[in-house]
């Protein structure tokens, strides 16, 4: 088919021209902020954790980040995670990034789009283990409680050489920390809110210099009987949301043993159960004949051995079971995962090589019997830092999958220091990477079919960015700005074929855009004032595809906004904090390209106070208001979201 090329708001026809034009925009943006916000000489100097430049300090937090030169990893501040312990991962991302989250209702299916890609184009890993369900491929972020995670990071960009299958749009990295000290401490949390919302959790941490244990238990429920508004010819009517309640519980047990000063053995067990009614569309809210429900049970067992010496070694063995039940229909899979890698650091050079393997057995009511699958990866990651001003990485990965030819996925990145003064630093970075996504089990086998015609998705991502930081006696300004161009071949979409739906490869799709991340902090004696701003401009278009995709040519892909933004303003005084958060989502189309969904802005607020009791004991009170102005909005067509609602929480730390 004839290839289409487009000229958009700020993109040229050729990729090289695209980057050249916007290099000036990046420099101008940084310079203006430096001039406008650098006049606070009297206040105390602090360092932020949100936008660290990629260096070996970050590698201590997330093992792959040492080799991700040329990209920008956003690491969650521990204080932010503490304030959102009762929330899901989707809530954190909405309030602290400009990624787009699609929610089929409050507490319902919640999926992500990073840089204009599909929900299955984001890899989610926990302690180095990818947890994307193998059946559907996409992670439901409403089922990931922040209460279980010590570390969270967002890594936009296609880096399959680092994260493997599915990392076309980006990656979410979750982790657990160990601190070998003789101590015992814990946390009890209780949160209540509108619509009979309840969250209860307990954490117990204890051990010695050689053994550590973490136990986490949680329970969460919500009736979700909020008021919804429905427009009709006679005006706007209100009714109560039906069939949208949910409850969940789970535990995470983590043991870590220091076998010697160099050797560590860890064992983690994570189990969650999630039951929810499937929220009906607004039009079918009162039709009880259409009500449905679904439950999920997920179990992960992970054993990891780590040796840190002149030659570092890490090996893992894991078992994962995902089980979903809809009435009597089962969608489940089991997998056995094994991996090993070794790394060596020299003065200016680092090398890491390894392999992994998965043996997969699905249990899905609509699959033929006897289906099994093997997947394996071999990779080599390297980093060279010839001097303090330059960093260069080159990474290679080859995946092997039963009956599928997976593309070879290299990546290369470079970062150069442009400016290093007493209070200022500036780096320019560039990364080019190839990424892939294997068709999911549902893509290949749903309906008793064997869709061997499907090709793996194949992406080529280019990213150019600028990092800048300025610090002066209590004023801290940090930002990173990125422009990117990602061309994906064989993008998989499900389309109707007669009476059934089947997956098909879209020949070529491009996603391109601009990301801006900015944080400023002022500290003056007992005061601390913070401003966080994130903005994303994204365009995702079909270049070539099958006949049914013709209406989308030259238009934004359905349900993807071109503009998303968020802002967070917070004031801390002694043990008190107050914050206001705004979140903007631009106009989108539905699957009907001529039907649009309105843009919206949501305002939230929160406040809290930390009361210090006896030694090492803390009582924290907090209140939060969501959708303060009662905006009627939807992220998925015809799925209502709550109007104004509130919650209050109490944390006891000992």
Of all helices (H) and strands (E), which one includes residue 22? helix 15-36
**pLDDT digits 0-9 by tens, 398-433:** 999 998 999 999 999 999 999 999 999 999 999 999
The closest of 326, 303, 325, 329 to 314, measured between CA atoms, is 303
Instruction: Give the pLDDT confidence of 233-286 residue by residue, as tens digits.
Output: 777 889 999 999 999 999 999 999 999 999 999 999 999 999 999 999 999 999
pLDDT confidence tier of residue 82, bands split at 50, 70 and 90: confident
- The upper half-sphere exposure of residue 391, i.e. CA atoms within 13 Å in the direction of its Cβ, equals 23
pLDDT at 593: 74
pLDDT at 654: 93
In sequence order, what DSSP letters do the residues of 426-483 get, joined into one string?
Answer: EEEEEEEEEEEEPPPHHHHHGGG---TTPPPEEEEEEEEEEEEEEEETTEEEEEEEEE
Segments in 37-117 forming alpha helices (H): 56-59, 78-83, 89-96
10 pLDDT band, cuts 50/70/90, is very low
The pLDDT of residue 502: 87
Q: Is the dihedral of CA 137, 141, 145, 146 positive or negative?
A: positive
**Mean pLDDT in the chain?**
88
Q: How far is CA 412 from CA 69, 71, 397, 619, in A?
A: 8, 10, 12, 48
- Return d(Cα 89, Cα 91) in angstroms, integer: 5
Asked if residue 12 has pLDDT above 50, the reply is no
* Residue 497 vs residue 226, higher pLDDT: 226
CA 188 to chain centre: 26
State the DSSP code for 209. S
Q: Quick: pLDDT tens for 449-501.
A: 888 789 999 999 999 999 999 999 999 999 999 999 999 999 999 887 777 88
Average pLDDT over residues 549-571: 89
Instruction: Name the residue with higher pLDDT: 232 or 259.
Output: 259
Helices (H), 73-168: 78-83, 89-96, 160-163
pLDDT for 70 equals 94
Q: For residue 642, which of 227, 199, 280 has the smallest C-alpha distance?
A: 227
Longest dimension (CA), the chain: 76
Assign 15 a pLDDT band (cuts: 50, 70, 90): very low
The answer to whether residue 173 scores a pLDDT higher than 60 is yes
Q: Tell me the C-alpha to C-alpha distance, in Å, between residue 349 and each of 55, 73, 174, 384, 433.
A: 13, 21, 27, 5, 20
Per-residue pLDDT band at 34 (split at 50, 70, 90): very low
Of residues 516 and 449, the one with the higher pLDDT is 516
Q: What is the β-pairing status of strands 122-126 and 170-175?
A: parallel
The SS3 of residue 26 is helix
User: What domains are there in the chain, each with its CATH number?
Assistant: 15-653 (2.40.170.20)
Q: How confident is the model at residue 3 (pLDDT cuts 50, 70, 90)?
A: very low
Mapping DSSP to helix (H, G, I), strand (E, B) and coil, where does residue 80 land? helix
Is the pLDDT at 41 greater than 60? The verdict is: no
Residues 216/196, Cβ–Cβ less than 8 Å: no
> Looking at residue 450, what is its pLDDT?
81
| Contacts of residue 333, Cβ cutoff 8 Å, sequence gap at least 6 | 133, 134, 135, 321, 322, 360, 361, 362, 363, 364, 441
pLDDT for 16: 42
Coil vs helix vs strand at 49 = coil
Nearest to 549 by CA among 499, 491, 488: 491
Residue 79: its pLDDT value, please? 85
Residue 52 pLDDT class (50, 70, 90 cuts): very low
Per-residue pLDDT at 19 exceeds 80: no
Using 50, 70 and 90 to split pLDDT, how confident is the model at 308? very high
Checking if the pLDDT of 51 tops 60, the result is no
* Of 8 and 108, more confident: 108
Token pair listed for 478 = 């940090």
* Percent of the chain predicted with pLDDT > 90: 76
- Looking at the predicted structure, is the pLDDT value of residue 4 above 70? no
How far, in Å, are 68, 124, 161, 409 from residue 458 at the CA level? Answer: 20, 19, 13, 9
Which residues 6+ apart lie within 8 Å of 327 measured at CB?
A: 292, 293
The CA-to-CA distance between both ends of the chain, in Å, stands at: 66
Q: What percent of the chain has a predicted confidence (pLDDT) above 70?
A: 90
Q: What is the pLDDT of residue 550?
A: 73
| Whole-number Cα distances in Å, 294 to 90, 109, 246, 445 | 20, 11, 10, 21
The average pLDDT across 175-196 equals 93
pTM summary value: 0.88
């Amino acid at each position: 088919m004839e290839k289409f090329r487009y000229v958009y708001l700020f993109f040229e026809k050729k990729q090289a021209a695209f980057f050249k034009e916007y290099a000036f925009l990046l420099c101008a943006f940084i310079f203006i902020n430096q001039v406008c916000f650098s006049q606070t000489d009297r206040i105390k100097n602090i360092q932020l954790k949100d936008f660290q430049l990629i260096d070996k300090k970050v590698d201590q937090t997330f093992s792959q980040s040492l080799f991700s030169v040329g990209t920008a990893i956003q690491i969650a501040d521990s204080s932010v995670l503490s304030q959102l312990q009762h929330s899901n991962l989707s809530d954190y991302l909405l309030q602290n990034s400009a990624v787009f989250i699609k929610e089929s209702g409050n507490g319902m299916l919640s999926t992500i789009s990073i840089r204009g890609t599909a929900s299955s184009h984001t890899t989610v890993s926990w302690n180095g283990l990818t947890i994307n369900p193998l059946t559907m491929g996409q992670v439901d972020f409403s089922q990931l409680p922040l209460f279980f995670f010590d570390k969270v990071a967002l890594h936009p960009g296609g880096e399959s050489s680092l994260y493997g299958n599915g990392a076309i749009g980006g990656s979410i990295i979750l982790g657990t920390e160990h601190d070998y000290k003789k101590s015992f401490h814990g946390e009890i949390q209780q949160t209540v809110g509108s619509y009979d919302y309840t969250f209860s959790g307990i954490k117990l941490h204890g051990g010695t210099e050689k053994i550590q244990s973490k136990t986490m238990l949680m329970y969460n429920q919500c009736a979700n009987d909020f008021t919804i508004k429905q427009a009709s010819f006679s005006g706007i009517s209100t009714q109560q949301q039906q069939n949208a309640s949910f409850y969940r519980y789970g535990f995470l047990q983590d043991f870590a043993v220091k076998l010697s000063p160099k050797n560590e053995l860890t064992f983690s067990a994570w189990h969650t159960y999630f039951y929810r009614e499937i929220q009906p569309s607004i039009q079918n809210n009162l039709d009880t004949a259409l009500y449905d429900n679904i439950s999920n049970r997920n179990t992960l067992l992970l054993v990891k051995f780590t040796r840190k010496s002149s030659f570092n070694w890490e090996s893992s063995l894991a078992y994962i079971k995902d089980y979903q039940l809809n009435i009597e229909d089962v969608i489940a899979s089991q997998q056995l995962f094994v991996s090993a890698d070794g790394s060596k650091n020299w003065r200016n050079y680092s090398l890491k090589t390894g392999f992994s393997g998965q043996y997969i057995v699905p249990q899905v009511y609509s699959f033929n019997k006897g289906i099994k699958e093997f997947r394996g990866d071999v990779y080599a990651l390297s980093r060279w830092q010839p001097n303090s001003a330059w960093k260069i990485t080159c990474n290679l990965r080859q995946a092997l999958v039963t009956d599928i030819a997976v593309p070879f996925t290299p990546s290369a990145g470079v970062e150069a220091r442009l400016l290093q003064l007493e209070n200022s630093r500036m780096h320019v970075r560039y990364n080019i990477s190839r990424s892939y996504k294997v068709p999911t089990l549902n893509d290949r086998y749903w309906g008793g079919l064997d869709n061997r015609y499907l090709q793996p998705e194949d992406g080529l991502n280019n990213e150019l960015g600028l990092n800048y930081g300025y610090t002066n006696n209590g004023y801290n300004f940090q930002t990173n700005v990125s422009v990117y161009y990602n061309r994906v071949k064989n993008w998989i979409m499900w389309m109707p074929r007669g009476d059934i739906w089947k997956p098909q490869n879209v020949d070529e799709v491009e996603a391109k855009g601009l990301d801006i991340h900015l944080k400023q902090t002022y500290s003056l004696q007992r005061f601390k004032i913070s401003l966080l701003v994130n903005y994303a401009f994204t365009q995702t278009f079909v270049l070539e595809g099958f006949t049914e995709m013709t209406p989308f040519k030259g238009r934004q892909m359905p349900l993807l906004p071109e503009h998303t933004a968020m802002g967070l303003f917070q004031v801390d005084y002694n043990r008190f904090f107050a914050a206001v958060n705004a979140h903007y989502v631009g106009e989108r189309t539905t699957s009907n390209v001529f039907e649009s969904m309105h843009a919206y802005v949501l305002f939230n607020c929160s406040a809290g106070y930390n009361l210090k009791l006896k030694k090492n004991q803390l009582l924290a009170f907090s209140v939060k208001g969501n959708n303060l102005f009662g905006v009627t909005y939807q992220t998925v067509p015809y799925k209502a979201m709550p109007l104004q609602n509130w919650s209050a929480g109490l944390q006891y730390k000992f």
